[in-house]
Amino acid sequence: MKKLLAAALVALTAFTGLTSCNSKKGGADICMVTDSGDITDQSFNQTTYEACKEFAKENNLTFKYFKPTANTTSARVASIDLAAKEGKIKAIVLPGFLFAEAIVERAEKYPNIKFIALDVSKGDIEGAAQAAGKAGYTLPGNVFCAVYDEQIPGYMAGYAAVKEGYEHLGFLGGMAVPAVVRYGYGFVQGANQAAVEAGKADKVTVEYVYGNQFFGDAQIKGVMDSWYTARGVQVVFACGGGIFTSACEAAKDVGGKLIGVDTDQSALINSTYGDGMCITSAMKGLAPTVKANLAAILNNTWDDVYGGQITSLGLVSSTNIESNYVQLPTDTWSMKNFSVDDYKALVTKLFTGELSVSAEIEKEPSVAIKFNTYGNIK
């Protein structure tokens, strides 16, 4: 699979000059449908929108996005139907697991349109098919679902935090679903590796808890307050939708730090809660995914590389770090002791296998640091 993804990366890098001869006439070439948010959410929708728009501009294509009228499957299906009516539509990009039901309901109706679904897992599709009464459903060949090796950016974030000098870390997960657990257990493994390398495993602690929901509230903030004050936690990796708001509210009162998730959350966290609060973010490479898929469509290689697949994306390069599907944002982090060169060295070690991170989620990672787990807050 690494070779397959690397080949797709080469196709994207080499792609120049391919345009639609009628790109300014008869509707959009590329469409996107937002999930429950909009294109200014500084998260999945905005990152996807900007990637689509940039690709279209670079290749003389037209792009249009649709925002569903409600946070429902029927509204998302209606937006897909509208996008499908665009005159020469090549692809519809769908960011987020909420699109699983819409994919099951609509993808087969439009066999000539490529559907690029971001963060939609096999479990999401199977659950949607079961709910729709479609036993034995097979993903059609015009759909590609990208999932991500969350344990890798989680590992990077934990490793970087300890190398930066933090010794008391916290992980606040939303619900203990596989993606969140992979992020969390990767984070613990990375913090452990950095502590062992520095010879201070006995000095590093990770507190670990799930909120059991994907939004913040007063009760979760209260737990975060106690972490930052009574326990002395210095930085929290908040992973799970809007639950990060509770950690941010607690951190701003005491000068605590945050690690963002999924996309680069530095602008959102720093502007809302305090400059420099977000030290880095454990990101999924949504933009590289979108651009690689769109390039493959225009190169007529998409069917062979992506069609009908649900693929977990991770590292594809040890040198071109921006092309990886999991990464840290080097342009915006506020870390001083952990350098970009340190990060590049870490990526190389992970890519070559010199360092490894387990994707196991059924049991807690075995580590030398102190690892305190608390189950669910609610």
* CATH number (domain holding residue 274): 3.40.50.2300
Residues of the chain below pLDDT 50: 1-24
Q: 273 and 296 share a domain?
A: no
Q: Which residue has the tokens 């190398």?
A: 163
pLDDT of residue 26: 59
Structural domain that includes position 329: 151-283+325-376
Report if residue 293 sits inside a domain: yes
Check whether residue 48 and residue 99 sit in a common domain. Answer: yes
Q: Both 353 and 216 in a single domain?
A: yes
HSE on the CB side for 57, CA within 13 Å?
A: 6
* Statement to judge: residues 368 and 240 lie in one domain: yes
Q: What is the pLDDT of residue 266?
A: 95
d(CA 26, CA 87): 5
| pLDDT given at position 322 | 87
Residue 204 DSSP symbol: -
Burial of 366 (0-12, 13-18, 19+ CB in 10 A): exposed
For residue 320, tell me if it sits in a domain.
Answer: no
Is residue 135 domain-shared with residue 31, that is, in the same domain? yes
Look at residue 318 and tell me if it is in a domain: no
- What is the per-residue pLDDT for 155? 98
- Of 157, 300, 341, nearest to 236 by C-alpha is 157
Do 258 and 293 lie in one domain? The reply is: no
What pLDDT does 27 receive?
Answer: 85
- At residue 4, the pLDDT reads 46
If asked whether residues 130 and 211 sit together in one domain, one would say no
Beta strands in the chain (DSSP E): 30-33, 63-66, 91-95, 114-118, 143-148, 168-173, 205-210, 235-239, 257-262, 278-284, 309-313, 326-327, 370-376
Question: What are the structure tokens assigned to 150, written together?
Answer: 């969350």
Residue 252 neighbours by CB distance under 10 Å: 16
For the record, the structure tokens of 300 come out as 């007529």
Residue 291 and residue 347 share a domain: no
**Domain count along the chain:** 2
Does 241 share its domain with 300?
no
**Residues 193, 356: Cα–Cα separation, whole Å:** 10
Give yes or no: residues 90 and 176 share one domain: no
Q: Looking at the structure, do residues 97 and 222 belong to the same domain, yes or no?
A: no
Position 223 in a domain: yes
pLDDT > 70 fraction of the chain, expressed in percent and rounded: 93
